[in-house]
Amino acid sequence: MTSLPAVPLTLEGASVLHQMMRFRWTAWKALAPAQRDAALEEAAATLGAMQGATHQTAVYSLIGHKGDLMLLHFRKSFEELNQAEIALARLRLSEFLEPTTSYLSMVELGLYESTLKLYAGLAERGIEPHSAEWNQEIETQVSRQRQAMAQRLWPAIPDRKYICFYPMDRRRGESVNWYQVPMAERQRMMHEHGTVGRRYTGEVQQIITGSIGFDDWEWGVDLFADDPLVFKKLIYEMRFDEVSAAYALFGVFYVGLRVEIGNLPALLKP
């Protein structure tokens, strides 16, 4: 197995953009009420048009100093994400929104277990890695998996009260390096890690996105729940998994409450 590729196969789906914003309250309060109403009406119309079967946008009111609003966009492509970003930038309301950060990624499903079985089977048949026959076999298997997991690759933004978003990396330190661990060991650790998450089924919905080559971290994690305490319990328990304890690095955490588009006027009332 040591001569086989070290990279696990992945499936990619929806393109995802998180936009964190700070609201310029002083300038907003200086507007005449009619101007504020017009800006909110325009924003509601644009955001309302961003709801569909294959394109969705959700608004969250962030808790803490890291920003006031977070906009979460699920689209079919990066091009559509760019179009959504431009459409929002054209709004009068955008004059009062100051970006604090953003995160670009793509829904990703890792196939560690399937990859190990597939690579081993191809090796037993004497098929040379990265040969034309190898690549064709890989594409056939991936296509089947892509169809079977379409619902997870193209999810709806969960209709839950709270969101917790954070980016993360796998460690590449002096004593441990995730990318030098044999695939079978990585698969074992990821399986154990997933076992913890499955115990919280029903309490929290998780969407993992890949951002290698797209943003500063390697993955983004979105957790959705009606009780924010589950975020703490789930993430704390996962800290004790080998994969997290030894190899995980975490970025900034953002927690917010879902805001229905029709409730924007109440949220932004001076």
Q: What is the pLDDT of residues 44-64, one digit of tens each?
A: 999 999 998 778 999 999 999
Note the pLDDT tens digit of each residue in 121-148.
999 999 999 999 999 999 999 999 999 9
The catalytic site residues sit at: 166
* Whether residue 260 has pLDDT greater than 90: yes
Over 46-61, what HEC string results? HHHCCCCCCCEEEEEE
Beta carbons within 10 angstroms of residue 130's beta carbon: 9
| Superfamily the domain 14-107 falls into | Apc35880; domain 1 (3.30.70.1030)
Quick one: pLDDT at residue 92? 98
Instruction: Assess contact for 91 and 42: CB atoms under 8 A.
Output: yes
Strands 254-259 and 10-23: unpaired
Q: What is the mean pLDDT of residues 258-263?
A: 95
Quick one: pLDDT at residue 251? 97
Q: What is the mean pLDDT of residues 18-24?
A: 98
Quick one: pLDDT at residue 4? 86
Quick one: pLDDT at residue 133? 95
Q: How confident is the model at residue 1 (pLDDT cuts 50, 70, 90)?
A: very low
Quick one: pLDDT at residue 65? 96
Q: What is the mean pLDDT of residues 30-43?
A: 97
Quick one: pLDDT at residue 77? 97
Structural domain spans, the chain: 14-107
